[in-house]
Every structure is written in C-alpha cells, then in structure tokens.
Structure 1
Amino acid sequence: METSDTVLFKSEFNKLVKPYMMLYVASIMLATVFGIVLIPFWFLGIGQWWAQHYYDKLECELTETVIRFKKGILVQVEKTIPLENIQDVTFVEGPLLRYFHLCILKFETAGQSAGQAHDMQLIGIVNAQELRSLILRQREKRIMAKNAPSAATSSNDNAELLREIRDILTEIKAELKKPQVS
C-alpha cells in the first residue's frame, strides 16, 4: 500500500487466522446440503489454499490521517478511511476467536446506519488493543487540529462583532445626549 503521510502502525496478523478461517467456512458449509458434500475437499486442500491466500492478502496500516486496509482473494477489497470519519472502533472476541487467540476490530464510520454492515472489519491483528487506542488518539488529534483554526477564527470574528456593537452603542449614546430640538 502506498502512503502519502507517515505510517504510525503497520499491522501484523496472527497466523492462527488460517485455521480459524478454515473452521469458520466449514461451519457455514455444514449448514447446507451442498456444503456438506464439499467439506472433505475443503479440509483436504482447497480450504488450506484459500486460508493461506486470504492470510497473505491481509494488510492494514494507520497513518497520521487515514487507516488503510486490504483483504480478499477472489474479490479484493482495498479501503481508505479518513480518521475523522471513524465514530468507533469495536473490539470483538467470541469463544471460537478466543480459542485461536484472535479478535475482530470493527470500524464504524460517520453516515453508517444501524443495520448496515461495518465499513471495515479486520480479524487477527496482533496487538489489536494497541491499534484501537492509537486510532482513537490519532482521530482525536485530527479532529482537534481541524477545529482549532475555526475556533480561533470564530473568536476573532466574535471580538470584531463585539467591537462593532460597542461602537454602535457609543454612537447611540452620543445621539441621545444631544439636545432635542422641538
């Protein structure tokens, strides 16, 4: 992945993603009649090939401004999300994930509706808690940096407006002090 700014964190992925993915897909196959027929082929080679290639394609990096990720075999997904658009980073561990010492990071972004799939979901990141904290800290920095100039401008605008109001009130006061001609 190419980056235009400094990379703060480049993720490594736990090798146990491969057996987890094999079992995960096999469990889905068990739910269908057609899949049950394919399970022996899955465990005798196709699944191992698929899991290895899936693992090899996993990439994730955090820069000062965005998080980028890449995953997939047949359909490859490459996504870049600006940090200020990230609303939350969820850390998910289930029984099967814990057995393989894995977790899933789910990223929720601005504009995402409640029932919609997550924009980004990554499994097996080594030091996932550290990445989550880093993303949230970097997001706060981005938001603060983005809002700081506008806050300063806003303060200057308010001060100028107050000066204008003061000047107008001074003129009104002066007009009221003039003798009334009847």
Structure 2
Amino acid sequence: MTGAEVGEDGVARCPWAGGPGLMRDYHDAEWGVRVHGESAYLERLTLEAFQSGLSWSTILRKREAFREAFRGFDADVVAAFDDDDRARLMADAGIVRNRLKVDAAITNARATVALREQEGLEAFVLSFAPADPPAWTDTAEAATTSAESTALSKALKKRGFAFVGPTTMYALMEALGIFDPHLGGCFRRGAG
C-alpha cells in the first residue's frame, strides 16, 4: 500500500511519478488534465493502445515520433493511410512497431471520422464520465477498470474501434481527466 510520496523537492505526488524526469513531468503537467479537440482525443486513444503491454515511459519517450508518424493525429489524414503508410510505420524505429496496433490506429482514425456523424469522439468519450468519480488515498484502493470504462469499451467496439479494452479505456479516462486520477495527498489532486 502506497499513498502520495514526498519527493526530494518536497512535493507530494502519486508514487509512480518518481524522481525528476519524463514521468514526473507528465504527472505534474498533463495526467488528469482535460484536453479538447478530436486530434487530442485520437492521440491519447492511440498512445494508450500502443502502450498496452509496455511501460508508459516507453510511449512518452517515443511520443514526438508518434506525432510525426501519425501526422499530428489528424483523423482525416490517418484514415486515408494505405499499405505504403503501413510499411512506413512498420519501418519507423521511432515508434512501437506492432502491426496489430498500427492497423488499430488506422481503423480508429476511420471510426473517429465516422463518429462525426453523431456527436464526435470527444463528446462520445465524455458521455461515459462516472457520475461518482473515485477518490483514492492509496494505490491499493485504485482500480484498473470500472463500469464506465467497460461500457465505453463496448460502445467504441460497436462503432468500429479496435484495441479499446476496458483497462485501456480506464487509462484513457485517467489521462484525459475525465475524472481526477490523483491520489489524495498528491499536490495535483483537485487541480484539474
């Protein structure tokens, strides 16, 4: 069991934020902070899918390469990717080269474009926000799925999305700030 931990800088944070570096910077400035716009949502959805089975620090280190490879996560551009683009992505050592995940990213861009006919990706994901958001003080209490992430996963799959399992969608909801994921005692808790 681990609650918020005070770092060498005297600031209490979620324990995974560790010492100075990429993970701490992400924790302090981005994790749990609301973003807006289709490309921001598609980026996070794509990165969470690529993270599956890997460490988040690996994805963060490769983030700029992902942004370049996936053309800023412009859904129209990625939706138009063809076999040449797939080959380019699979040859790009700057990103995670996994054919299933590359194919899922293209599939998800196409599904995002199709979702515009209804409410759009951002509004759709936000519609699954928990009515009673969790508020943990210890990592032992924290969950990796919820009824909402399971429902979001099922709804996205119905709309043609791939690599959107309940655990991945829970991580997405945390990252997007759909609820405040920070532990009680963390300086970011309640900061939005």
TM-score by length of 1: 0.25
TM-score scaled to structure 2, two decimals?
0.24
